Structure 1
């Protein structure tokens, strides 16, 4: 709601301008004659007209007699001028302060990314609070501290990756911000097997997959956000606790059903195995995983087992690897598993990602 206080003029208007207007409207009344009539020197009146002197109560009464404009009007005009002048000064101070704050923000925030996504409106008065909200900080000092802490913890796990720390923090902060805006059903970890079964059906059908997955996750109390990737942000998924629910953020860098299914199931594993028991934990899963990380190994194993049951995988391994497309489609039909998911596991086990195949891997 717009309040009187929020309406700040570009420039405060002195009541002397009204005297000038009255003189122009009354050509028979000269400035020196008005000065004589109210008993002041012409130079004194000229200073009031220029806005260099205030209209006092005594002058207001004299102007009331000379111009037939009530004294209280002159006093209200003078009072409003003083208030507006103070607000204009405050506004200018804030404008300078905001520019200084914005200089710091640009060092730690990829502002063009947020502008492209529509979060920034080219107004520092609106954009600074928007950045604070996204990064969940109350001041620019908090932003700098958050950046330093994030950079330190991140480099402990990503020494081999080319990473833009500013972009990575922006991506994860936006993921948490967007998740916070969502409201979903209550989460019950005991329903995880039922959730995985429903997801596998969606993966197999691969039709409007992302929307169906999001709806299903929400029904089971898990938030899902898709965040557009930035340059040098080699992240596949991010799992964390948001308000009263677990949340998953994905980049969908590879729009393939096998990559999508595995990444999603991997993050669900983190939720089920690690985050539910410790809501302070979060997992920013990178393209290059640390094979020695117990949490990542556990999540990988969970995802593999939920996507492809052990008996199905034994069936595949009993044949010569890699199987031809006809065999893959046969196994896919029998177990109701998308063939690209089977092929993805085979490629991983063989460490060979350029297998000749006609299997459609597109995420639909």
Structure 2
């Protein structure tokens, strides 16, 4: 087994040791030069590290100072090796800096650093970025970004400012985190049962994040929570990873109705769209306008899963005008969280002005 050499902060020339030696002995440089039979300038250049100690000069030092010539040669050899290694280190550092300057043009490094994914050393950070983007080289990174720039794979928003590199970085991080999770294979036949069990979790609204993650895991679906990136206003992301579908959320809004809708929206993509087209990606932006048919279908799926058409007809026919008491009655009748009912009423019936004490907080 080889031992990695310890690289010093700086290379020490044997002339430094020679100076200390003659000072300790009280010898003047000129006197030593005469005794050695060399010019004082020659000796001074060695002491200042401008000349190397040769084998011939090492033998002269051995005679004059009674120190083995091998000692001086080993010192000179170590200096040469250290100097070469430091040079190599500096060249590598320059290469890393040049690479990092390229990376910063294509990757949201501030967001990755903010959330603790990078920030140790340039070499490790570059390696981490390659892992996240699933590439082997910087050229591969550039090509990956270019390919995604050419294709809009998310529903657009006219109001929000979006940075494409940040969106891609967020989605790549979601794929990276999902790739580290191993689950049993997913079975589409279990979705209806899963939806019922999720409804219970949302109705109870207790430790929802962890319970939802565990429940989806139990059914073979990976749920990852990815922190928000600047200028990347993502609600959710659904895609396929290995043998399992994935739902990624930012938890941008700490509301039970928003959380439940996003879960079922992404589950809608899985059930309706990823079943046959596993290569697709659905990245959804907050407040997106002009949603395509896939997003409309996923929205409709989530809406009807949270409150069925028959349940909604019952609400409209028997609980209008709405107030907190009637919302709670309806909620307990069907096992639906009251905040979810209030949220849909506000959206479809313009009940935003309703005075309500219903707690929407995600617990």
TM range (shorter): 0.7 to 0.9
Q: In the alignment, which residue of structure 1 is the partner of 2:218?
A: 219
The 3 A distance-change label for structure 1 pair 275 and 34 is: farther
Quickly say closer, same or farther: Cα 1:262–1:305, change in 2 above 3 A.
same
TM-score when normalising by structure 2: 0.87
SS in 2 for 1:275: coil
The residue number in structure 2 matching 1:4 is: 4
Aligned-partner Cα distance in 1 for 2:7–2:232 = 43
Deviation at 1:258, TM superposition (A): 0.9
Give the structure 1 partner of residue 16 of structure 2: 17
2:149 matched to which residue of 1? 151
The answer to whether residue 345 in structure 2 is matched with residue 343 in structure 1 is: no
**Separation in 2 of the partners of 1:355 and 1:122?**
51
* Cα root mean square deviation, aligned: 2.9
Superposition map of 1:1-364 within 5 A: 4-5=4-5, 7-27=6-26, 29-121=27-119, 123-154=121-152, 157-158=155-156, 160-161=158-159, 162-289=161-288, 293-319=292-318, 321=320, 323-350=322-349, 353-364=352-363
- Cα distance change of structure 1 residues 56 and 115 upon mapping to structure 2, 3 Å threshold: same
The alpha-carbon distance between structure 1 residues 347 and 70, as it changes in their structure 2 partners (threshold 3 A), is: same
Deviation at 1:243, TM superposition (A): 4.3
- Looking at structure 1, the residues matched to 29 and 3 of structure 2 have their Cα atoms a distance apart, in angstroms, of 38
Relative to structure 1, the CA distance from residue 219 to residue 122 in structure 2 (aligned partners, 3 Å threshold; closer, same or farther) is same
| Residues 60-109 of structure 1 deviation map (CA, whole Å, 9 limit, x = unaligned) | 34433433433333333222212221222222223333333333333333
Deviations for 1:244-265, whole angstroms, at most 9, x for unmatched residues? Answer: 4322211122211111001011
Distance 1:67 1:136, change over 3 A: farther
Distance (whole Å) between structure 1 residues aligned to residue 262 and residue 122 of structure 2: 38
Aligned residues: 361
In the alignment, is the contact (CA less than 8 A) between 1:17 and 1:49 conserved in 2?
A: yes
Q: Take 1:229 and 1:325, find their aligned partners in 2: how far apart are those partners? A: 33
In structure 2, do the counterparts of structure 1 residues 351 and 154 end up closer, same or farther at CA, with 3 Å as the change threshold?
farther
Note if contact 1:239-1:267 (Cα within 8 Å) is conserved in structure 2: yes
* Counterparts in 2 of 1:144 and 1:352: CA distance versus 1, 3 Å: farther
Distance 1:20 1:168, change over 3 A: same
How far off is 1:201 after superposition? 0.9
**Aligned residues of 1:236 and 1:287 also touching (Cα < 8 A):** yes
Equivalent residues of 1:322, 1:346 under 8 A apart: no
Partner Cα separation in structure 2 for residue 354 and residue 170 of structure 1: 39
Larger relative CO (CA 8 A, sep 6+): 1 or 2? Answer: 2
Retained in 2: the 8 A contact 1:258–1:361? yes
Q: Using the TM superposition, give the Cα deviation of residue 335 of structure 1 relative to its aligned residue in structure 2, in angstroms.
A: 1.4
**Residue 287 to residue 76, structure 1, CA distance change in 2 (3 Å):** same
Question: Is the 1:289–1:296 Cα contact (8 Å) retained in structure 2?
Answer: no
